[in-house]
């Protein structure tokens, strides 16, 4: 069984070496709107099916019962040997169908639901103001 996860956009090595993007408009337009993972397993195998369902439930519990230290120290994941994927039923052209568009999240967010750059700046300033008083918070970057 192999679990694969991949953000919808990945920065290039050159961009990563240059440092983080600081222009809010560029960051918002290039952000990863959503991510997901697939659990690939042999559906004919009761053992692999049970393991896949247990993994799914464990991922859902991790999100519900998050523990920052354990999440990064003990619950990290590594990808193993890739498993061949049967791709024939998947379209090779055209738009990617939206998953759960009724939720209005990720790529299903309509332009009217998007938070404006001004509102993002306002919220960011408020977060910085609150965290400025927190001795455990990293200071905000200076322009």
pLDDT (tens digit per residue) in 81-110: 656 667 777 667 777 677 777 777 777 777
Eight-state DSSP code of residue 89: T
More confident residue, 10 or 139: 139
Asked whether residue 90 is domain-assigned, the answer is: yes
Q: Give tens-digit pLDDT for 62-78.
A: 666 655 556 555 655 65
pLDDT score of 94: 74
**Burial per residue of 39-51, b for 16 or more beta-carbon CB atoms within 10 angstroms, e otherwise:** bbbeeeeeeeeee
Asked whether residue 61 is domain-assigned, the answer is: yes
pLDDT score of 64: 65
Asked whether residue 40 is domain-assigned, the answer is: yes
d(CA 61, CA 126): 31
Q: How many domains in the chain?
A: 1
Asked whether residue 140 is domain-assigned, the answer is: no
| Domain that residue 44 falls in | 2-132
Asked whether residue 21 is domain-assigned, the answer is: yes
Asked whether residue 65 is domain-assigned, the answer is: yes
Q: Give tens-digit pLDDT for 36-56.
A: 677 888 889 999 989 988 888
Asked whether residue 143 is domain-assigned, the answer is: no
């Amino acid at each position: 069984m192999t679990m694969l996860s991949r953000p919808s956009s990945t920065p290039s090595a050159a961009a990563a070496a240059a440092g983080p993007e600081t222009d809010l408009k560029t960051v918002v337009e290039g952000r990863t709107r959503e991510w997901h993972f697939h659990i690939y397993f042999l559906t004919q195998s009761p053992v692999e099916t049970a393991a896949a369902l247990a993994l799914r439930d464990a991922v859902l519990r991790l999100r519900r019962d998050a523990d920052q230290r354990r999440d990064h120290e003990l619950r990290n994941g590594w990808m193993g040997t890739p498993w061949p994927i049967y791709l024939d039923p998947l379209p090779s052209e055209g738009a990617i169908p939206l998953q759960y568009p009724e939720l209005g999240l990720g790529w299903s967010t309509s332009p009217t639901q998007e938070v404006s750059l001004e509102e993002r700046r306002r919220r960011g300033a408020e977060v910085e103001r609150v965290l400025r008083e927190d001795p455990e918070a990293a200071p905000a970057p200076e322009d």
